[in-house]
A and B are shown apart, each in its own frame.
Chain A
Amino acid sequence: MPSPEPCAVAERQHLLVCDAKAAARGLRSGLPVTAALALAPGLRLRERDAAAETEALLGIAAWAMQCTPSVALDFPDLVLLEVSGSLKLFGGLGEIEARLRQGLAAMGYSERLAAAPTARAASWFARAGKHCLIDDATLLEGELCALPLSVLQCREEEALSSIGAGSIGDLLALPRAGLARRFGQDLLDALDQALGRLPDPRCFCVLPEKFCAALELPAEATQAEALLFAAKRLLAQLEGFLAARAAGTRRLRLNLTHRTAPATRIELGLVAACREAGHFALLLRERLQQTALPEPVRAIALEVQAIEPLEYSNQSLFSDELQQEGNWPRLIERLRSRLGAAAVHGIGVCADHRPERACAEAETGTRQLALDFNLRPFWLLERPQALEENGSIPCHHGPLKLLAGPERIESGWWDGADVARDYFIARAADEALLWVYRERSPAGAWYLHGIFS
């Protein structure tokens, strides 16, 4: 997340990496912290957090499984993807690279990508920061030769350079027997693995059951937009995780951590399983705008407990009817995210004679009972409205004329909400047709219950 001040990460009192703003002030990696603070007094310094790095690497690995099921970690900074089986599906190495680059940027990571016929060669290219996509094994050796020895990450690097070997090419030119005698078999094995002469088995990651990712904000945030910006990174990661499982989810939880107050929880419930980060972000925006925060937010965490398989719908050839159907839950979710779940509902009928109980809220899209009622009004008043009486004739903006009835409804003695009413269809002075009833009690009060429309 971009912050107004220059940022840097330090390890053992020396700078490890710094951002563009810090670099502009003359900071570079390896600089002592005291010197860095003298150059940039406003520097925001963070201690290197190995656990957080591992966490991030695991998150990236889970996300990258949308491209291939074979993902391996090479600690501390590498994720290896075996993509030869996915080339046809995604349309080539270039397409996969673009996809990875775009996704990593959405999650807020900078990356160095390289592809090679062997895992070790690919990791060397990536560590050397050399962007190359090699899919031809015959070109591999030539490209490898130019790499510096630092990619080996071994103790013998200094000894090798002292005998005049500055690159991988120099090493390959040395006699193998002598190299093995002086520097050990491991070095030779590494070279052979890079060239594909020796097998290089890797242990592939297994996807976690649940999704859980956290992000510490660089500065405390109170604005919904700032929180959404951070949450979008986690949502991008979630999308990859769900894509890897060919699944979606209906329930997300966003935890907002504060300094002292208990964490604010935002639960998102969806009508249909979904995995699109863009849609989640849209719903989250409405929710964040409505949420009152007790304190500024320091960190956010996204949790998904249950995932469910997402069905792919076939594209229809001529019309977009299917697609329209699919958009329906989205509309409901959007309306609910702003108006609340209770304000958006479908309706259904119930097998009950009492008019107020014959109608109930239901989820849209559910099949309803086919029940037969007498003539019923389109509008029902939520609460029956008492009518005035003028010489035993009910009045509603003037006397009512009873057209049909009574229809006696006497029911519900078993659940305490019993009714005993005689319903009539009445015409008001303004020609409106009303549904009125008279209580079957000695008082016999009149009520308006519905409007025919």
Chain B
Amino acid sequence: MPSLAAELERHPGIWRGNQLARGCPGIATGFAALDAELPGGGWPRAALTEILPQHEGIGELRILGPALAQLAAQGKFVVWIAPPYLPYAPALAAAGIDLARVLIVKTAKDGDSLWAAEQALGSAACGGMLAWPRDIRYTQLRRLQLAAESGRCLAVLFRPTEAAREPSPAVLRIALATAAGGLALSILKRRGAPLSRPILLPALSAPPAAASSSPPPRFDAHVVDSPTSAAAAAGSISARLALA
């Protein structure tokens, strides 16, 4: 007869404090270092994920790119609700995301955004839902989490870093910050043991110089960060992380 401990270990909702939960397999993020630290080995399905970027343009879409491309390749639709800017089609196509599977929803009020998010999560047709709510309360988050649980959708909310201090029913919360020219992901909450150190991802690969047909640049096209400024930036980030 198996021991009680072994029996409990098999239960998907129970895990040891120093382990990760063994829920249903997630959607691979495309970054091995991140996959290793996420329960299910990727972005969770049927659950709310919060991404808290320090500021816009930090790379919040880049870390989702491979997962979105994968969903589109499987023929799943992804709904973008109230994005802060225009998602730029050429860049999405370059990231391997099938544009035919992207739906943009613009809303005037937060109420409409949350309603649209709930509709998307409740629909079986939807493979992913990205939303940028301006202001969202705990009860509304809870409602979205319940809606997410009813489907099998990748559900991501983008919220400001200040929201990290508030409690949230999301199963995964990741804060993004820049560090040493790369991206530092601190997992604030996950199903499993807390992670003390941030995960570092490399920076956006340096773009090639402009096409040769263009006239000689008036500026030095390849200005590289001086080591001193990079170190200073890294220093400020680590100081901020220590405070958080």
A425: Cβ under 8 A from any B Cβ: yes
Closest Cβ of chain A to B44, distance in Å, is 19
A405: Cβ under 8 A from any B Cβ: yes
Contact A453 B211 (CB under 8 A): no
Contact A375 B207 (CB under 8 A): yes
Contact B221 A335 (CB under 8 A): no
B126-146 CB contact bits vs A (8 Å, 1 = yes)? Answer: 100000000000000000000
Which of A367, A379, A380: most chain B Cβ within 10 A?
A379
A-contacting residues, B34-86, CB 8 Å: 54-62, 75, 77, 79, 83-86
Beyond A327-B125, A368-B100, A404-B206, is A373–B90 a contact (Cβ under 8 Å)? Answer: yes
Contact B210 A407 (CB under 8 A): yes
Partner of B57, one of A320, A364, A423, A434: A434
Contact A381 B86 (CB under 8 A): yes
Partner of A359, one of B62, B84, B86, B208: B86
Beyond A331-B120, A339-B116, A432-B57, is A407–B211 a contact (Cβ under 8 Å)? Answer: yes
B227: Cβ under 8 A from any A Cβ: no
Residues of B within 8 A of A321 (CB): 75
Residues of B within 8 A of A428 (CB): 57
B-contacting residues, A312-342, CB 8 Å: 320-321, 323-328, 330-332, 334-335, 338-339
A-contacting residues, B102-154, CB 8 Å: 102-107, 112, 115-116, 119-120, 123-126
Residues of A within 8 A of B102 (CB): 346-347, 364
B81-97 CB contact bits vs A (8 Å, 1 = yes)? Answer: 00111111111111100
A363-387 CB contact bits vs B (8 Å, 1 = yes)? Answer: 0111110110111111111100000
A-contacting residues, B186-228, CB 8 Å: 204, 206-211, 213-215, 217-225
B29: Cβ under 8 A from any A Cβ: no
- Complex CA distance for A451 and B57, rounded to whole angstroms: 5
Contact B119 A334 (CB under 8 A): yes
Contact B88 A431 (CB under 8 A): no
Beyond A328-B77, A334-B119, A404-B221, is A379–B207 a contact (Cβ under 8 Å)? Answer: no
A452: Cβ under 8 A from any B Cβ: yes
A342-374 CB contact bits vs B (8 Å, 1 = yes)? Answer: 011111110000010011111011111011011
Residues of B within 8 A of A326 (CB): 125
- Complex CA distance for A345 and B59, rounded to whole angstroms: 24
Closest Cβ of chain A to B137, distance in Å, is 21
Contact B214 A347 (CB under 8 A): no
- Complex CA distance for A376 and B208, rounded to whole angstroms: 12
Contact B55 A376 (CB under 8 A): no
- Complex CA distance for A359 and B85, rounded to whole angstroms: 13
B-contacting residues, A398-437, CB 8 Å: 401-408, 422-425, 427-428, 430-434
B24: Cβ under 8 A from any A Cβ: no
B163: Cβ under 8 A from any A Cβ: no
Residues of A within 8 A of B223 (CB): 401-403
Residues of A within 8 A of B32 (CB): none
B233: Cβ under 8 A from any A Cβ: yes
Residues of A within 8 A of B210 (CB): 374, 404-408, 423
- Complex CA distance for A330 and B103, rounded to whole angstroms: 13
Contact A403 B206 (CB under 8 A): yes
Residues of B within 8 A of A375 (CB): 94, 207-208
Contact B233 A404 (CB under 8 A): no
A-contacting residues, B159-205, CB 8 Å: 178, 181, 204
Residue in A closest to B183 when the chains form the complex, CB atoms: A431
- Complex CA distance for A330 and B105, rounded to whole angstroms: 15
Apart from A347-B92, A375-B208, 18 more pairs, CB < 8 Å: A321-B75, A328-B125, A345-B104, A349-B89, A359-B89, A364-B77, A371-B90, A375-B94, A376-B88, A376-B91, A403-B207, A405-B210, A406-B217, A408-B215, A422-B214, A422-B218, A451-B57, A452-B204
The 10 A-B pairs with the shortest beta carbon distances in the complex, nearest first, are A432-B57, A431-B178, A451-B57, A379-B85, A407-B210, A327-B125, A328-B125, A408-B214, A359-B89, A380-B88
Question: A residues engaging B (CB < 8 A)?
Answer: 320-321, 323-328, 330-332, 334-335, 338-339, 343-349, 355, 358-362, 364-368, 370-371, 373-382, 401-408, 422-425, 427-428, 430-434, 450-453
Q: List 18 A-B contacts (CB under 8 A).
A: A320-B124, A339-B116, A343-B105, A345-B103, A346-B103, A348-B89, A349-B90, A349-B99, A366-B100, A404-B208, A405-B221, A406-B210, A406-B218, A430-B178, A432-B56, A451-B57, A452-B62, A453-B59
